[in-house]
Amino acid sequence: MHRLVRATVRPVVLAVNTPVARRRTNRLVAESGASIKLEIGGLEPRPGWLVTNVSAVTRNYLDASTRWPLADGQAALVYADNVIEHLTLDQGRRLMREAFRCLEPGGVIRLVTPDLRKHIDAYLDGSAAVDGDLAAAYREIGVRIEHAVDLVRTPVENFLHHLGYVYDADALGAELRAAGFTEVRECPVGRSDVPELGGIDRRTDEGPAQMAFEAVRPGTGTR
């Protein structure tokens, strides 16, 4: 019953809230000036950041797969935690191109997303992986892991990721470089050499399942 109610109410709330939340985002962007710290798909307010989402109840609406309401070079940082895997490959490429356009020279993008290769490596370990750290991380959030194959099935089938595009490190790094970024590097989940990006990842307890990448828009900047 609760699911039925949510399914019925959500489109109404989305239709009413989205225009208001979009206008709020546009106003905040205009008022913020330069060096915006932009979070895509954020769930909670973060001091000093413009936190956006596409949910039915978000305060600040921004569809990251379309053109962003930011001027060229207006952002200092762009951060998205477990967002890009919900987008198709083409939509993910648009997100990266928009981030490149909107970042100031020297600005940094940080993306956190499931790493498919880690899941496949765990699967290839066989039955031992069912009792490993990756399986334990999933069980803690309610995912059913009974066989090694579940470790491959989960990042593709669960969480609606089958509607998007799941990456490994090689693929994500290549896409960031294709978008124009340099200094592309994988970072430990939950850690960064950029002070504003350190310790902000939500899923640090899912470390075995996740990867974090940072990349820089080239040019002379402050970072």
pLDDT surpassing 70 at residue 4: no
Q: Which of 28-42, 100-114, 157-171 has the lowest mean pLDDT?
A: 157-171
Q: Which of 70-74, 196-200, 201-205 has the lowest mean pLDDT?
A: 201-205
On whether residue 152 sits in a domain, the answer given is no
On whether residue 120 sits in a domain, the answer given is no
On whether residue 16 sits in a domain, the answer given is yes
pLDDT band at residue 188 using 50, 70 and 90 as cut-offs: very high
Tell me, what CATH number does 110's domain have? 3.40.50.150
Q: How much is the pLDDT for 5? A: 41
On whether residue 142 sits in a domain, the answer given is no
pLDDT surpassing 90 at residue 102: yes
How many domains in the chain? 1
For the chain, what percent of residues have pLDDT higher than 90?
A: 68
Cα atoms in the 13 Å half-sphere on the side-chain side of 15: 5
pLDDT in tens, 52-63: 999 888 999 999
Average pLDDT taken over every residue of the chain: 89
On whether residue 159 sits in a domain, the answer given is no
On whether residue 125 sits in a domain, the answer given is no
Tell me the sheet residues that pair with 187. Answer: 212
Q: What is the pTM of this model?
A: 0.90
**Quick check: 217 and 180 in contact, CB under 8 A?**
yes
pLDDT surpassing 80 at residue 11: no
Q: Tell me the two tokens of residue 212.
A: 């974090």
pLDDT band at residue 10 using 50, 70 and 90 as cut-offs: low
What's the distance, Cα to Cα, between the start and end of the chain in Å? 51
**Quick check: 164 and 152 in contact, CB under 8 A?**
no
**Quick check: 205 and 137 in contact, CB under 8 A?**
yes
On whether residue 141 sits in a domain, the answer given is no
- Domain assignment of residue 59, given as a range: 2-115+167-216
On whether residue 200 sits in a domain, the answer given is yes
